[in-house]
A and B are shown apart, each in its own frame.
Chain A
Amino acid sequence: MNIKKLLIKTFTFIGGLYFFLEFVMPESVFDFDKYHESISNAFITMSCMAVGLGIINLMVLHLDRIVYKKKDYFFSLTLLLSLFITLVILSLDWYQNEKIVSKANKFLTLSKFSEVILDDEKAKNSKVLAVNIRNQKLISELEKDINLIDKNSININEAKERELKEVLERVEKSKDNIKKDYHSTKYNLNLSKRLRNLSIVYREYLQYKNKDSLIKKLYLICFDGFFNPLVMSMFSLLGFYVATAAFKAFKIKSFESFLMMLSALIVILGQVPFGVKIWNGFPSLRLWLLSVPSTGAFRAITLGAFIAGLVMALRMWFSLEGHEKGGKN
Chain B
Amino acid sequence: MHSVGYMRKANSVLLALLLLVPVARASEEQRQPEESEQLEHWLGKLSRAVTELEYRGLVTFEHAGMLETLQVVHAVRNGEQIERVRYLSGEPRELVSRGFSANCRRGDNPMARAALWSKAGQADVQNAYQFFLHGEERIADRDAVVIEARPRDKHRLGMVVSLDRETGLPLKSMLVGERGRVLERYQFVRLDLSPLPDSALKPQSASARRIDNSGACATAQSRWQLRWIPDGFKSVAIHTLPDGDMLVFSDGLSVFSVFVQQLGRELEFKGRAIRGATVAYMDRFEVDDTQYTVTVVGEIPDDTARLLARAVSSK
| A and B are partners in one complex rather than unrelated chains | no
- Residue numbers of A with Cβ under 8 A of B are none
